[in-house]
Amino acid sequence: METTIEIDEEVERKEILRKYRALLRHAKPFLKDDDAKQIKKAFNTSMEAHRNMRRKSGEPYIFHPLAVAEICVTEIGLGTTSIISALLHDVVEDTEWEISDIDREFGPKIAMIIDGLTKISGVFEHGSSQQAENFRKMLLTLSEDVRVILVKLADRLHNMRTLGSMPRNKQLKISSETIYLYAPLAHRLGLYAIKSELEDLYLKYTETETYEFIVDSIASNKVARTKFISNFIRPIKDTIKLHNINVEIKGRPKSVYSVWNKMKKQDIPFEEVYDLFAIRIIIDTSLEKEKAECWRVYSIVTDYYQPNPDRLRDWVSTPKANGYESLHTTVMSPQGQWVEVQIRTKRMDEIAEKGYAAHWKYKENTSQESGLEQWIQRVRDTLEQSDASALEFVDDFRGNLFNEEVFVFTPRGELKTLPHGATALDFAFDIHTEVGGQCLGAKVNQKLVPLNHVLKNGDQVEILTSNKQKPNEGWLRFVVSSKAKSKIKDLLKEERKAAAAEGKEIVKRKLKQLKLQLTQETIDQLVAYFDAKTPLEFFFQVGLGKIDATNIKKFKDVRDEAESKKKTRVSDAKAVEQTLKTAKGTDRDMLLIGEDMDVIDYKLSKCCNPIPGDDVFGFVTVNEGIKIHRTSCPNAAELMSNYGYRVVKAKWTSQKEIAFLAGLTIVGTDRIGLINDITTIISNELKVNMRSMTIDTDNGIFEGNIKLYVNDTIHLEVLMEKLEKVSGVVNVTRFN
């Protein structure tokens, strides 16, 4: 028995060395001075620190830091500092090492990156999110050194690649966090290959059947696709050769996730997704000839194939904020199919694949500050100025990751880059907080427009201000940039605080007249009586005059009456039963929850109304115990991403006798007797109770929403199948 273990250890030792040597081999082209010595020191430190640790898959832990370092070099194009940081990235979090030890052994730069990568430990206040706090901490370091995020993305990519060995609830948590934050972040940093792989892996672990179906479908038409691509490319390639332009042309299949997204957004089956691939033409040319060569190739392509004028995207003249440069056009093939053609140079292609690191490599060729640097500066500003909670910050930040840009000009002709969908008010706050706070409207291309006017590329914008203008809550609906949102919230908070302070004084005076003290209990009762969300909200409403302070007299009368009723006891048995019902709630089923699959009390969430048979998870809420959500719930990614530590396993028991509320939307052509046929199936055939039914008819089209009680998913599916067979019914879908 002992011999086997020794042989295994020897095999593992050889494998570790093989991986380490491969890493050094890939890093060799850029190693300077004592870089190799420092990498070796980091490797030995990590080996020693993680000596007795293993991953969930059973592999030695050191495999993970080595893989992360390998991704940093080969897939992102990073150098020595990042390799050392990747090798040490889990040392402080998982072992006895401290940040001070890293600083002493490897210097302050590495220590700062490792600190940014190390999760915050300790107790978190009620309602905060550990994940959001960690993410914010990492972004604070981003403003110092972007490598923190790049190493984190490499770490996340390796974790997603090895997610198969993790338990289901961990798979859901890590996948949701990935789609919610890390894939958009990879997109923003221009790491398209990594972004696509993260999205595909998310789909693989959350919608496994759909993922496998799309993978198989793409593979099955590979032969036909290859033939189509070679026929499409041939005439272009021959002409480009005649013009002595050196190019590489390849057909690139669309990612599984983008195909799935298209199927979902357009509500079409796989067979109807036509643009399963894009043709990429990569030109080998010098920097000064790049733009001209791209347009020459575009001209050759459009000589052969008719372009769609609405689908031309020129990111060569104006690159995206993440550094992406390329010329995209969609052309019609002889078979009547639209094909996307991407034209770019070798330099542009490397930036598109390797993102920030490649952009940095080519930076010496230009003195101009890139859009990516401007974006990082904006993140820095937002972090410094924002006093919002980490959750609010992450939400705003995330909203700006996937946004494309709009390019507009100041009256003096200065170019400003704003998120897509930005309004005149966004522009005002981009100039200065004071300009934003006093913004009355704007002149766009010399025409007067309101605050919520959406800007278009090339607009010239002049802001009109007044010192009598004040922000209001409605402004938050007019802006899309995180800078404007956080500034408006700050201005509103100041205003609210002043109004709330005034309101508190009014309440104090009124209570004094009624001989009542302003105790915490009285405040809570006032908040409940006036249906306010928080004490601050209550005082604010009083300060604004929306709650009339004279009504506090009515509150006192109601409170006095309730006090006297408390003294009388409930003797009616029916009343007791009703009270118990209200307290316990109806429509309950037993669910197995947590690692030990115990029977624990829970509530079903209103946002997705799960029923037995649905794939579900439990979520520990602050005030309402455990709530059950479907894994496909619209809020699932956000909950699991921000509060992954509150997610628990949940699995239905096979109780059939309890009915659950579900909703169905039925669409069809209106005819006499249609409703009768539908209700007959629901009531008679399957003995289902209906709770409500709303019907709209318009020009012979019938749409009904029905809420009914069913036992489980299978029961619901049988019912849907039967309803679809009713003459005139076109579509039956479930809603939450």
Which one, of 350, 19, 14, lies nearest residue 158 by Cα?
19
Report, as an integer, the average pLDDT of 660-669.
83
How buried is residue 329: exposed, middle or buried, by Cβ count under 10 Å (0-12/13-18/19+)?
Answer: buried
Q: What is the pLDDT of residue 143?
A: 55
Encode pLDDT of 355-399 as tens digits. Answer: 665 655 555 444 445 555 666 666 666 555 555 555 555 665 665
- Cα separation, 69 vs 50, in Å, equals 16
Helix (H, G, I), strand (E, B) or coil at 27: helix
Which one, of 65, 58, 26, lies nearest residue 43 by Cα?
65
Report, as an integer, the average pLDDT of 190-197.
86
| Structure confidence at residue 645 as a pLDDT band (50, 70, 90) | confident
Report, as an integer, the average pLDDT of 233-262.
88
| Structure confidence at residue 588 as a pLDDT band (50, 70, 90) | very low
Neighbours of 218 (CB within 10 A): 19
Q: Is the pLDDT of residue 54 over 80?
A: yes
Supply the mean pLDDT for the chain: 78
Q: What is the dihedral of CA 467, 468, 471, 475, to 10 degrees?
A: -100
With residue 649 as reference, give the H or E element that holds it: strand 647-652
Q: Is the pLDDT of residue 694 over 90?
A: no
Tell me the pairing of strands 313-314 and 327-332.
antiparallel
Which one, of 14, 18, 10, lies nearest residue 70 by Cα?
18
Report, as an integer, the average pLDDT of 580-589.
39
Q: What is the pLDDT of residue 426?
A: 92
Encode pLDDT of 82-131 as tens digits. Answer: 899 999 988 888 888 888 888 899 988 888 888 877 765 544 444 455 66
Report, as an integer, the average pLDDT of 692-717.
77
Report, as an integer, the average pLDDT of 317-326.
80
Share of the chain above pLDDT 70, in %: 79
Three-state SS letters, 352-395: HHHCHHHHHHCHHHCCCCCHHHHHHHHHHHHHHHCCCCHHHHHH
Report, as an integer, the average pLDDT of 283-293.
91
Encode pLDDT of 199-240 as tens digits. Answer: 999 999 988 888 999 998 888 878 888 888 888 999 999 899
Encode pLDDT of 707-725 as tens digits. Answer: 877 777 777 888 888 888 8
Domains of the chain: 2-165 (1.10.3210.10), 213-365 (3.30.460.10), 371-483 (3.10.20.30), 491-566 (no CATH), 582-652 (no CATH), 660-735 (3.30.70.260)
Tell me the pairing of strands 439-444 and 461-465.
antiparallel
Report, as an integer, the average pLDDT of 25-45.
88
Structure tokens at 414: 């200065």
Q: Is the pLDDT of residue 285 over 60?
A: yes
Q: What is the pLDDT of residue 291?
A: 92
Report, as an integer, the average pLDDT of 608-622.
81
